[in-house]
Structure 1
Amino acid sequence: MMDISTFSAFKSRNYRLYFSGQSISLIGTWMQKTAVSWVIYSETHSKFMLGLTLFASLFPSFIFSFLGGVVSDRYNRYKVLLVTQVASMIQAVLLTLLIFFRHYSVWEIIALSALLGLINAFDVPARQSLVYEMVDDKADLPNALALNSSMVNLSRLIGPGIAGLALEKFGDDICFGLNALSFIAVIGSLLMMKLPKYIPKPHHKNVFGDLKEGFLYIKQTPSIALVLLMLALISLLVLPYSTLIPVYAKDIFKGTASTFGIIDSVIGLGAFCGAIYLASLKPGRNLRKILARNTVIFGVGLVLFSHATNYPLALLFSAVVGFGMMSQITISNTLIQTTVDPAMRGRVISFYAMAFFGMQPLGGLLVGTISQWIGTPDTVLIQGIITLIIGVVLYRFLKKERERKLAMMSFPKSEDKLF
């Protein structure tokens, strides 16, 4: 049962504004994502093109996220975020006009997806870093990050469902148009915020010096390096399963755009439940242990979903997938944000963005290609098995680490007995 601590971050006015504006904008974002996948697959009937679309939308974030992290640490994060949100709105308007006039090719959609990926390279480090400044009581930061995930996943629950209906009843251009309008909410909420006056800091290094400093910091902080490595593996080998959902909707369950929207929404429902669970955790819980357990749940969900031919059962398994998947993103982010040096926040988050956004496009191409060879169900099955292995390895690592700490604690006592 949820208590007041589940929403403790809402005590901060700036965070409340951010949460409300971003919630509306993210529903539009998920509508656009759903519509892009559906349009691409309907036009090409190619699983590889689905992977290529994911690659185009995320790979620019991989290339430029380092620069985005430096910009976030060097300049006013609030202004950077305002600029990226306006740029995202312009991208959505261009995509809407392209679809509305019907004179488009798949490559033009992919090019605009790549443009959004470039914008996100600067948006993500600034937005994630700014959350820290929006929360008045820093003890509420883990709660704010968990609520962020609930917001993302609630929008994933609502957005694809609305998109599926809109695609059938009104046409794909409506999905893109509604996304463009949704940016008014987040830009408005940012303009209403009252943040502390920004004080520019002197910079004694060039951009490459800042990048090197961030990399060395991660290398010398094993707890952060481990989290980033695990997230990179999951993003490369597992998270691109989402590119194959249109195949399940259209070919396996013989459905329509609504079927696709419903599956995506149920994944979002599971992820939303997982985010609320994390938001309800009391301070001091072992997040790495929860991450290992939920990684195993993620793997079990994928294995069960992979060869499901009964639609209601597949929806149940997809909710399990969503619950486990959400932890990869949220707990990783929380572990980083609560331990990182504030001066390194933007750069470390840019490495987080690289691990999350950068590996997925490469994985999308890999998964799209493999599914062409061995089929979609077997591909998702393999992804589930890989996830289980990663979860078990993390469990074993944490167990050995705990045993090592216990041995170190008991060693002086043994010495006392000897002497």
Structure 2
Amino acid sequence: MYLRCHAHQVKDKYRVKKWKVYQITNSPLALGLVGFFQSLPMFLFSLFGGVAADRVDKRTLIISTQTTAMLLAFILSTLTLTRMVRIEHIFFLAFCLGTVHAFDMPARQAFVIEMVGKEDLMNAIALNSTIFNSARILGPAAAGALIAVVGAGMCFFLNGVSFLAVIAGLLLMRVPKSPREARQEPVLANLVEGLRYIWGNPIVLTLESLVAVSSIFGMPYARLMPVFAKDVLYVGAHGYGFLLSATGTGALIGALSLASLGNFQHKGWLVTAGNLLYPTMLLVFSFSRLFPLSLIFLVGVGFSMITQNATTNTLLQTTVPDKLRGRVMSVHALFFGGMAPLGDLLAGTVANFSNAPAAVGFGASIALSYSIFVLLRLPQVRRLA
């Protein structure tokens, strides 16, 4: 219940918020800024979120973060429905939500292995991705229709209501409490211990660096999707929803494929394939001006993205000691979300002074170059099991 409901609610707030920002400002730079403000707290606070995940009960921490996120959704809904919302409000609430995510993401990712164990971890992550991306297939098209029919304010309200089911699902869970060895050390000592482990482990460091490059130069394409829908492909709100659904479809196919592999023993090759295919699909998407062709390329983007992310997540969690898992996953969250402000600002600026396709193509080219470098110079990555 938790996974299903969380998958439904976590995506809608992004797509509606981005559309509302572009509706208010008509500026690609503003889209980059809202992404910057939402991602900045990941850079500032996610490492402390990892320490918290290793010091307190993860389920309790997740309940607290989800409750706070629900309140933020209701605030944005109220401002929008009363027509008092301004771009500064969205920036501020985006920063608050990003702070919530800085503590939620490390705890949530480290919580999965406590529920299922190491042997079933990849299947669990793939199942989570399957449920998550099922919502991405139906959700964007529905969100596009809802924006057109009832407006963004009601979408934000429904998003807030959906958190109630998430919180209820968490309260009904019964999982064994894991030992929290980090509790006995000072916070900064806990933090340094986690960073020292990552720096001293070449495999973990390489995996984390791939996440960082993908986040900075690949992920910002999603922030610019309203520009592609409105000004590049000329398909409006409904087409915007279908563009996002295409990514969700590809991710769902990728998740189901990973789940069918079970405890696959050549995960390094999966990570390598995802790292190469993801920026390649983004690059060809940036050149497309045909709506059907763009949908096909975005299916490829979603497929390769989930292959890269789910396999990297699995390798990280199964490699690290239990007592350090929250902190290692907080660095993963830092690189996955905290590096995004740099990419969002870069992509938004390039799009503002040039165009959105140029911004996406530029970032994809850099990400692809780094993936090729890792393939040629760090063969130990593709040998991972």
The answer to whether the 8 A contact 2:280-2:368 is kept is yes
Distance 1:264 1:376 in 2: 16
Cα offsets for 1:139-170 (capped at 9, x unmatched): 11111112222233222222222110100111
| 1:196 alignment partner, SS class | coil
* Equivalent residue, structure 2, for 1:109: 90
2:293 aligned residue (304, 310, 313): 313
| 1:299 alignment partner, SS class | helix
* Equivalent residue, structure 2, for 1:166: 146
1:153 aligned residue (112, 115, 133): 133
The answer to whether the 8 A contact 2:118-2:318 is kept is no
The answer to whether the 8 A contact 2:282-2:361 is kept is yes
Within 5 A, what are the aligned runs for 1:229-378?
229-378=209-358
* Equivalent residue, structure 1, for 2:36: 55
The answer to whether the 8 A contact 2:59-2:111 is kept is yes
| 2:120 alignment partner, SS class | helix
The answer to whether the 8 A contact 2:348-2:359 is kept is no
Distance 2:319 2:272 in 1: 19
* Equivalent residue, structure 2, for 1:89: 70
Q: Are 2:2 and 1:35 equivalent residues in the alignment?
A: no
Q: Are 2:113 and 1:129 equivalent residues in the alignment?
A: no
How many angstroms does 1:390 deviate by?
Answer: 2.6
How many angstroms does 1:310 deviate by?
Answer: 1.3
The answer to whether the 8 A contact 2:182-2:323 is kept is no
* Equivalent residue, structure 2, for 1:99: 80
Note closer, same or farther for the CA distance 1:38–1:400 as it changes in structure 2 (3 Å cut): closer
How many angstroms does 1:199 deviate by?
Answer: 5.6
Distance 2:14 2:382 in 1: 42
* Equivalent residue, structure 1, for 2:46: 65
**Counterpart of 1:168 in structure 2: which amino acid?**
A
**Counterpart of 2:2 in structure 1: which amino acid?**
G
**Counterpart of 2:324 in structure 1: which amino acid?**
M
How many angstroms does 1:394 deviate by?
Answer: 2.6
Distance 1:107 1:202 in 2: 38
* Equivalent residue, structure 2, for 1:210: 190
Counting aligned pairs with the same residue, the percent is 36
* Equivalent residue, structure 2, for 1:144: 124
| 1:243 alignment partner, SS class | helix
Distance 2:119 2:310 in 1: 17
**Counterpart of 2:16 in structure 1: which amino acid?**
A
Distance 1:159 1:37 in 2: 15
| 1:280 alignment partner, SS class | helix
Note closer, same or farther for the CA distance 1:279–1:390 as it changes in structure 2 (3 Å cut): farther
- Please report the TM-score for the alignment, with normalisation by the length of structure 1: 0.87
* Equivalent residue, structure 1, for 2:155: 175
Q: Are 2:5 and 1:24 equivalent residues in the alignment?
A: yes
**Counterpart of 2:210 in structure 1: which amino acid?**
M
Tell which structure's C-alpha radius of gyration is larger: 1
Note closer, same or farther for the CA distance 1:113–1:306 as it changes in structure 2 (3 Å cut): same
Cα offsets for 1:245-299 (capped at 9, x unmatched): 1111001122221111110111111111111111222424321211111222222
Distance 1:343 1:263 in 2: 41
Cα offsets for 1:296-318 (capped at 9, x unmatched): 22222112211211111111111
How many angstroms does 1:222 deviate by?
Answer: 1.2
**Counterpart of 1:134 in structure 2: which amino acid?**
M
Q: Which runs of no fewer than 5 residues in structure 2 stay unpaired?
A: none
How many angstroms does 1:28 deviate by?
Answer: 2.4
| 1:320 alignment partner, SS class | helix
The answer to whether the 8 A contact 2:268-2:381 is kept is no
The answer to whether the 8 A contact 2:54-2:182 is kept is no
The answer to whether the 8 A contact 1:43-1:106 is kept is yes
The answer to whether the 8 A contact 2:127-2:259 is kept is yes
| 2:344 alignment partner, SS class | helix
The answer to whether the 8 A contact 1:29-1:159 is kept is no
Note closer, same or farther for the CA distance 1:345–1:284 as it changes in structure 2 (3 Å cut): same
Cα offsets for 1:325-376 (capped at 9, x unmatched): 2233212211101111000011001000000001112110011101222322
Distance 2:70 2:34 in 1: 20
How many angstroms does 1:63 deviate by?
Answer: 0.7
Q: Which runs of no fewer than 5 residues in structure 1 stay unpaired?
A: 1-19, 406-419
| 2:234 alignment partner, SS class | coil
Distance 1:402 1:255 in 2: 40
1:118 aligned residue (94, 99, 104): 99
* Equivalent residue, structure 1, for 2:25: 44
**Counterpart of 1:354 in structure 2: which amino acid?**
L
Cα offsets for 1:33-73 (capped at 9, x unmatched): 11110110011111110000011111112210111111110
Note closer, same or farther for the CA distance 1:21–1:400 as it changes in structure 2 (3 Å cut): closer
- RMSD value over aligned CA atoms? 1.9
| 2:339 alignment partner, SS class | helix
The answer to whether the 8 A contact 2:68-2:100 is kept is yes
How many residues align? The count is 384
Distance 2:29 2:185 in 1: 43
